[in-house]
Every structure is written in C-alpha cells, then in structure tokens.
Amino acid sequence: MTQQQRPAVKPVPIPTPETDFYWEKCQQHELWVRKCNDCNQAYFYPRDICPDCFSRNTAWVQCSGKGTLHTFGIVVRPPHRGWAEDVPFVVAMVDLEEGCRMPTNLVEVEADLNNPGEHIRVGMLVEVVWEDRTDKVSLPMFKPA
Amino acid sequence: MPNISRAAAIVGVAEADEMGYLENRKSDLQLSTEASYNALEDAGLKKSDVDGIFAAGNTLGLAEHMGIHPKFTDSTSVGGSSFVIHAGHAFAAIAAGYCEVALVTHGVAGHSRRFFGGAGEGGAPDSPGGQFETPYGFIGAPINYAMACARYMHEFGEERTREAMSEVTVSTRKWAALNPRALIHDPKAEIPLTMSFDDYHNSRWVCWPFHLLDCCLVTDAGGAYIITTPERARDLKKPPVWILGAGEGHDHGMISQMPSLTSLIARETGPKAFQMAGVTHHDFDLAMIYDSFTYTVMLTIESLGFCGRGEADDFLRGQRTAPGGDFPMNTSGGGLSYTHPGAYGIFLIIEAVRQLRDECGERQVPDCKLTFCHGTGGSLSSGGTAVLALD
C-alpha cells in the first residue's frame, strides 16, 4: 500500500445548543441571526440571552444576505495548513443590513496586494454566497454585490 | 475608590539568563524561574520572602517549580497586557495586606515552540471563536490586528496611517541598536541593526496592511519583577520604583466583537491611572507602550489621549520617539526589535524600572523620573496602564 498524504482540511465548526439553529439554517443556505425583542437589537454571534440588555426575550430573524464591508485583510502567510495552497485570501467583517457585524471571507474578488483598493473597498456592498465545507456544514461568505 | 498611590514599590527586575532564538529546549518554566531568581537577586530578597505569586495562567506550576507556597495567588491571563495588570493587582493586594512580597513572572519558549510544537490551529471548534472566526482563517494576532488597522486606514487615510506605522518601527529599531539584549544583536537572527523607511516599505507582506516590519518578533524569553511594601522597599539594594497609579479593563475578546476597531480600552485605563497618580500627559519622561504591531502603538497613543483620534501620524512624525527625540518611547527596542515571546507586557515594566534607576547606559533617557507602561492584549481586547516613578 502506498501511503497517501491526507488533504489539508480547513477548520470545521462544531455547534452548541445556542448555535444549532444557525448552522442548520446555514446547511440550507439561509442566514439567520439573533434579535432581541426587548431592545430590538440584532446581534452576532448567536447566543440565547441578549448581550446588550441581558433579556431572555430573543428571537431568530432571517437575513437578506446583503451588507457592507466593514473591514478586510489580505492574508499572505497561511495561518493554518488548511490554507497552505490557498493564499492570498481575504478575511473580512461585514455589517449586515439587519444591523450586526459578522466575521467572514470576501470571495470572488481579486486580492491585489499592490493595489487592494482597486477591487476591495471598505463600505462596498456585498452579498452572501455559500461554501459547503463538509456534507453537513456550510459557511456564509460574501462577494461584491 | 480609595487612592492607594505609592502603597507599593517595584524593587527587583530581571530577564532570563539568555533570550532570543535559543533552540536549546529550555521550557517556559525554566525561563520563568531563571528570571525570578535574577529578579530576587536584583532586589536583594530571598525566595522564602515571596508570599504572593502573579502569572498569566500557570501559577500552580510555576510556584511548584520554584518551591513557593504563596498565601496570595493571581493567574489573570488576558493576553500580553496581563503583566502590567498584575502590577496593579499586586499593588492592591499589598495595600490591602494580603501579601508583602509579590513575584510577577513570565517565560515562554515562543520561538522554539514554532519548531517543536508546530503551528497553532486556532480555538476549540465549539467555542465562539472556533465556530465563527477560525473557519474563516481568523487565526493569530497578525490577521486580527491587520483588519483593525485596515479600518483605521479607511477612517483616517491610508497614507497617513502608513507614515505613522513606519515612524514607530524605524524609531524602535534605533533603540534596539543601543540595547545589547535585543534580538537584533544575535547573529543567528540575521536581523540588521538599522532599518530605513525603505526597508520598512519593502519588507514582505504578512497580512495586508501589515508588512513583516509591522509585526513583533517571536522569541524565547523570560522576565520577572518583585513588588513589596514601602517599609521593606526602603531597606533593599536598589532605589524603590513607586507605583503611583494603575488602571485595567477589556471590552471584548474576539476581534469581530470589538466595539470600535479604532479605539482601545486604554481610553478608560489611562485616565484612571493618571488621575490616581496625580499626573498629566505632559509630565512623563518616557512612554513604554506595548508594540505587538505598529498599529497597536499608534492606537494606544490616541486612546490614552496623547493626541486626538486619527492624529497619530501628526504626533509621531519626525522620529520624535527615537533616541534624542522629545517623546522617548520603547527604549528597550520593544516587541518589534528587542524581544517578544508571545506575551511581552512584563518587559515594559522591566525597562521602565531600569530607566528610572538610571541603569540603561547608552540608551538611558536623561533625568528619567516619571514613566508609564501600557499593555494591550488579546485581539486588542484588554488594557492595563501603570504609572511608575522614583521618590
């Protein structure tokens, strides 16, 4: 038997009771966030009790999938063996239309280190796309809208 | 809150026997213990005098390794700022009578671990970070801090930001050239003793907007310091360095949870420490500011109130933080050019004390009587300020 090198795998999240619903919806390519019924604030990441007013009266809302780019970085040195063959790539934070900010990757865009602003601008409109990382786990990512 | 200004003094500081790129399998415990031994020697105290231990995390293991049975223990671990925060905690514990001789210690074989232990893999996959940041490659400080810096560039201008970053790293290298313990003096490290602005701009990208020369070193290092009561401090070998004021806080853990990527909790810890100390921004002879990245320094200067938001470029222009400048900063050569084992805060205190005691030779700041240390840790998450002075 020849020994085969296993392909490097990017990290895969493991849900908890507070996030099961989020990841189930992601698997269906739907983005949902938590919203507090008392202070009316949407928030990310999902947790049962509102991190602003500490109310238990919270709900899930489905997102439009649209937002604006809050900031980004172009990763050149792979931070993990899962990205060894996959640099440069764009880490980003997106301000969702619903009013909260989420970490993500910006994809389907040129990451030009000599002139990043040519293709990527803070404040640009973005929309959700999906990466099926495994059969069970899909990650929301964003591309220029 | 009671004002406990001058209720305790730092009486001993030291590094480990050797630091840098060791690759000799020295453990974190050994580096910490060496530094602790040396700090006790510096103070003229014995190990049996120590009744309080302060470290980021492993106080059980460290105290056991040194045979210390503390009656006060503090494992506060909030990133590289922890060791400035420990100064405030030891200060309060001594003022309240919980211990008399506090040992603050830290050692990490940060460089060697890269080879022996392999690269980090991010947080536990069911933690908030492991679910929502790690899968996107938010792994390690350079990436997280770079995104904050990119936001600053958007708000205040890319060119101005870049200028401020270059002023910080170029001036810090000049100080390191005057510190024989700085990594740049180790031929193994192959780091030039000087850095031009062109060297900075031409250094390779780690994560845009960070060049290599925006990022701190990763070394093997240990450090320690001793704090005690005013009564004991006056009878020891070296002049006491008084703690005049301290402040601490944090406002998030993960970078994506940071309320504003362009403002640090230093905006609260600084004024609190300065007020307790009864000093203002113009009184300081030396600034010791955690330089995990160039951006950390410029943001700290703004958040502490030395200049307004977005004004770091104007404040830093013209190498005024370099040797001979009117705002001496990070005279050891900092995390950028002296040493940074993974958490650097303890070395801010060590250098501040040495400067106040007039022990710094070529890099000595003339008439250095009042200084502050500010540590930033985590993902720009935590902050600690300590104001230190001679009699």
Mean pLDDT of A16-24: 98
pLDDT in tens, A22-57: 999 999 999 999 999 999 999 999 999 999 999 999
| pLDDT at res. B23 | 85
Question: Cα–Cα distances in Å, from B55 out to A52, B59, B104, B304?
Answer: 32, 6, 6, 25
Q: Which residues of B touch A116 (CB under 8 A)?
A: 208-209
- Whether B212 has its CB under 8 Å from any CB of chain A: the answer is no
Residues B68-117 pLDDT 10s? 999 999 999 999 999 999 999 999 999 999 999 999 999 999 998 876 54
Widest CA span in chain A:
62
Residue in chain A closest to B120 (alpha carbons) equals A80
Which chain A residues are Cβ-neighbours of B148 within 8 angstroms? 71
Q: What is the nearest CA distance from A81 to chain B, expressed in angstroms? A: 8
pLDDT in the model for residue B314? 98
Is A68 part of any domain?
Answer: yes
Q: How far is A41 from chain B (nearest CA, A)?
A: 15
CA–CA dist B279, B308 (Å, integer): 19
Contacts of residue A72 in chain B, CB cutoff 8 Å?
147, 150
- Model confidence at A10: pLDDT above 90: yes
pLDDT, residue B1, reads: 73
Q: What is the pLDDT of residue B99?
A: 98
B122 close to A (CB below 8 A): yes
Q: What is the mean pLDDT of residues B285-309?
A: 98
Put simply, whether B151 touches A (Cβ < 8 Å) is yes
CA distance A118 to A110: 9
Average pLDDT over residues B367-381: 98
A85, burial (CB in 10 Å: exposed 0-12, middle 13-18, buried 19+): exposed
Q: Is residue A11 part of a domain?
A: no
Is B225 designated active site?
Answer: no
pLDDT at A7 over 90: no
Written as six digits, the tokens of B383 are: 């902050």
Is the per-residue pLDDT at B220 higher than 50?
A: yes
Q: Does domain B9-114+217-389 have CATH number 3.40.47.10?
A: yes
ipTM above 0.90, yes or no: yes
| pLDDT tens per residue, range B257-272 | 999 999 999 999 999 9
Percentages helix, strand, coil for chain A, rounded to the nearest 5?
10, 35, 55
Mean pLDDT of B357-383: 98
Mean per-residue pLDDT over chain B, rounded:
96
| pLDDT at residue A103 greater than cutoff 90 | yes
Each residue of B114-172: pLDDT tens digit?
Answer: 765 444 445 799 999 999 999 999 999 999 999 999 999 999 999 999 999 999 999 99
Question: What is the full DSSP assignment across B117-174?
Answer: T-----S-TTSHHHHHTGGGT--SHHHHHHHHHHHHHHHH-HHHHHHHHHHHHHHHHH
Type of residue found at B257: Q
Q: Is residue A92, in this structure, part of any structural domain at all?
A: yes
User: Does A73 sit within 8 Å of B208, measured CB to CB?
Assistant: yes
For B143, which of A14, A91, A139 is closest by C-beta distance?
Answer: A91
* Nearest residue on chain A to B138, alpha-carbon basis: A91
A40 is in which domain, residue-wise?
20-144
B176–chain A Cβ distance below 8 A for any pair? no
* pLDDT value of position B192: 97
Residue A94 lies in a domain: yes
- Does residue B200 carry a catalytic annotation? no
Closest chain A residue by Cα to residue B119: A80
Average pLDDT of the segment spanning B3-13:
96
CB contact, 8 Å: A61 with chain B?
no
Evaluate if residue A16 carries a pLDDT over 80.
Answer: yes
Rounded mean pLDDT of B368-386? 98
Rounded to whole angstroms, the Cα distance separating B249 from B270 reads 10
CA distance to partner chain A, nearest, from residue B136 (Å):
6
* Average pLDDT estimate for B42-51: 98
pLDDT bucket at B309, cuts 50 / 70 / 90: very high
- CA B145/CA B294 separation, integer angstroms: 10
Q: Name every chain B residue with its beta carbon within 8 A of the beta carbon of A34.
A: none
Site from A76, A87, A110, A138 to mutate, B interface, most B CB atoms within 10 angstroms: A76
Both tokens of residue A16? 């908890």
What local confidence, expressed as pLDDT, does residue B211 receive? 98
B228 touches B234 (CB < 8 A): no
For A62-101, the pLDDT digits (tens) are 999 999 999 999 999 999 999 999 999 999 999 999 999 9
Residue A73 maps to a domain: yes
Across residues B326-347, what is the average pLDDT? 97
Confidence of residue A1 (pLDDT cuts 50, 70, 90): very low
pLDDT range class, residue B284, cuts 50, 70, 90: very high
- Which of B19-33, B120-134, B299-313 is predicted least confidently? B120-134
How far off is chain A from B117, nearest CA to CA, in Å? 14
Number of domains into which chain A is organized: 1
Please write the tens of the pLDDT for every residue from B160-205: 999 999 999 999 999 999 999 999 999 999 999 999 999 999 999 9
